[in-house]
């Protein structure tokens, strides 16, 4: 069983950003189906995806719903910086602030996770 942390850094503004988000969700889905320990984390501009994905209008909402139980959370610092902190709180996604307001990628690596960024 693999241990995989998928970190979304992509913004929401371009078609390429949507492609990165779709690939991140597909990676989480595949890992889940294979029984891997997988976590999805939104960081940087990627925090802007949480309100997009939890709304019903996103093309990626159904795929997100299929893996939403694997969401660890979103960076607290970045959520505030990108103006989506309140929307993330309203969505029920946890805000992560393990190291100076950010998720600790180092802790994930120390716990044996491979970190994949999109």
For the segment 99-103, the average pLDDT, to the nearest whole number, is 97
Instruction: Please give the torsion angle defined by the CA atoms of residues 43, 82, 45 and 56, in that order, rounded to the nearest 10 degrees.
Output: 90
What is 3-117's CATH number?
A: 3.40.1260.10
For the segment 27-31, the average pLDDT, to the nearest whole number, is 98
Q: What are the pLDDT digits (tens) for 6-22?
A: 999 999 999 999 999 99
Please determine, for residue 56, whether its predicted confidence score (pLDDT) is greater than 80.
no
Confidence at 79, pLDDT banded by 50, 70, 90: very high
Which pLDDT does position 57 carry in this prediction?
82
d(CA 91, CA 42): 13
Q: What are the pLDDT digits (tens) for 61-78?
A: 999 999 999 999 999 999
Query: What percentage of residues in the chain have a pLDDT greater than 90?
Result: 96
Confidence at 55, pLDDT banded by 50, 70, 90: confident
Helix (H) or strand (E) holding 107: helix 105-110
d(CA 91, CA 73): 11
This prediction's pTM: 0.96
Which pLDDT does position 14 carry in this prediction?
97
Which pLDDT does position 69 carry in this prediction?
97
Burial (CB < 10 A; 0-12, 13-18, 19+), residue 86, is exposed
């Amino acid at each position: 069983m693999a241990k995989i942390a998928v970190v979304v850094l992509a913004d929401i503004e371009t078609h390429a950003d949507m492609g990165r988000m779709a690939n991140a969700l597909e990676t989480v889905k595949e890992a889940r189906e294979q029984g891997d320990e997988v976590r999805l984390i939104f960081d940087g501009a990627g925090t802007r995806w949480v309100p997009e994905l939890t709304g019903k209008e996103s093309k990626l909402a159904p795929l997100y719903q299929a893996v939403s139980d694997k969401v660890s959370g979103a960076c607290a610092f970045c959520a505030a910086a990108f103006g989506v902190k309140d929307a993330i709180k309203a969505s029920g996604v946890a805000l992560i602030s393990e190291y100076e307001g950010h998720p600790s990628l180092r802790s994930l690596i120390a716990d044996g996770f491979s970190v994949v960024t999109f």
